[in-house]
Amino acid sequence: MSKKTPFFVLAAGALGLVAVLAFQNGGFTPITPTHAVTSQPQASQTGRALPDFSTLVDQAGPAVVNISVVKKVRTAGVNPGIDPNDPFFEFFRYFQIPAPQAIPQQGVGSGFIITPDGHILTNAHVVADANEVTVKLTDKREFKAKVIGIDRRTDVALVKIEGSRLPVVRIGNSSQSKVGEWVAAIGSPFGFENSVTAGIISAKAR
C-alpha cells in the first residue's frame, strides 16, 4: 500500500477540467473524507502488475459532476439607417439585416466538489459570462450554482451549490508526481457522467 499522500491535480485539455489521480508505489489510494482504501494491481500475462482503477472510480467518482450553462450571446447582425432618398432605398429596405439579438447558448463541462458544503472547481471558459449554471451529481440530483470566481489565465473557476455532506476530492501537491507514473482521469464531458481514462504522466510543468 502506498504511504505517500494521495492527491488530485488539475488538467485542462480537449475535454475540459478533470480530476487526475496518481498511482504511486504499485497502488492507488483513493481520496475520501473519512478513509483511504488501496485497490490492488491486476497481474498481466507478462507477470507484471497492471493498475486497477475500479475501486478508485467507485469512491472518487461521486465527487465528479456535470456542469451545464446557459449564456446569452448577441448576434452579429446590424440594422443600418438607410437614406429614403437613396436610389437603392427600396432594395436595401427589403434585404436589410435584422438588428442584433441576445440568443441563449448552452454549454457543458466537468467539475469536481472540493468541500462538503458545495464548492466546485471547473473550467473558467465553461462558466464565464453564464446566466445560468446547473450542477448535476452522479446520483441525479441537480443544483443551481453561483459563480464565485474566475481565473481566465489558468482557465480555472470556482462555483458554489447549496448542499451539505457532499462527496469531495482533496487537492494535494502535484510536485509529488513523477514522469512515468500511472494516472486516471475522471470527467463528465458532453454530459456523460464519470467517463474514465488512464495513462501515464508524460511530462511536467507544461
Residue 99 is predicted with a pLDDT of: 52
Of 10-24, 50-64, 112-126, the range with the lowest mean pLDDT is 10-24
- Least confident range of 48-57, 73-82, 196-205: 73-82
pLDDT at 162 over 60: yes
Q: List, edge to edge, every strand of the sheet that includes 16-23.
A: 8-13, 16-23, 182-187, 195-200
Which of 157, 181, 195, 161 lies closest to 28, judged by CA? Answer: 181
Residues across the chain: 206
* Its pTM surpasses 0.85: no
Max avg pLDDT among 12-16, 46-50, 184-188: 184-188
How confident is residue 97, by pLDDT bands cut at 50, 70 and 90? Answer: low
Q: Give the single-character DSSP code of 21.
A: E
pLDDT in tens, 66-80: 999 998 766 554 445
Give me the residues paired with residue 22 across strands: 183
Q: Environment class of residue 71 by beta-carbon count within 10 Å: exposed (0-12), middle (13-18) or buried (19+)?
A: middle
**Vertex 174, ends 116 and 17: CA angle to 5°?**
60
Q: What is the mean pLDDT of residues 180-186?
A: 90
